[in-house]
Amino acid sequence: MPETNNKDWAKYEDTIEQFIQVIAKNMNLYGVTPSIGRLYGVLYFSQDPMTLDDMREALEMSKTSMSTGVRALSDMKMVEPSFKKGVRKDLYKSEEDWYKSFTSLFGSRWRHHTETNIEEADEAIQELQGIKDSTSDEQLKEKITMDIDRLEYAQNYYRWLMKFIHVVESGEIFQYVPKIDQNKK
């Protein structure tokens, strides 16, 4: 009977490992390396908070890599410190609310890039306007006018995107696309 039990446990561990690989692969969509994605997966499926040594052992990676990974996940609000009486080492657990993690990660990533794009468009418009004001080439002036219109269109899109990012970050998105209740699958 114990032999069947061992097979069942091995099958269980393989299934969890496969899903952790899926998590690691999908985290790449958010600019997260697969190793950090695997770290999150291990923490997510761990029943108890883990120390850096526990993580290192589970993933066979250096303690420095684990520390860097935990810091990155913490910055993304996907991992948080945990405390257990009698344990002196730092403990960490995964953020179990994936909706919260997504809104935080999506917001911070998209906000940064969108703000940068708005600034770049502003600079391009200013430079083009300067060229337009100083040139006597009518064909170039016409081309610059069309390109400034395109850049202003892009800026309007980025401003709309900033509103969308706010809707996601604020949680207002869930009024339009409700979370799926775990009990109603």
pLDDT in tens, 142-162: 999 999 999 999 999 999 999
Structure tokens at 171: 């949680």
**DSSP structure class, residue 91:** E
pLDDT at 69: 92
| CB contact set of 91 (below 8 Å; sequence gap of 6+) | 49, 50, 51, 81, 82, 83, 84
pLDDT at 85: 86
User: Over 90: is that where the pLDDT of 178 sits?
Assistant: yes
pLDDT at 1: 47
pTM for the model: 0.74
Higher pLDDT, 77 or 41: 41
Give the C-alpha separation, 111 to 100, whole Å: 16
Dump pLDDT digits (tens) for 54-113. Answer: 999 999 988 888 899 999 999 888 999 998 888 888 999 998 888 988 888 888 888 989
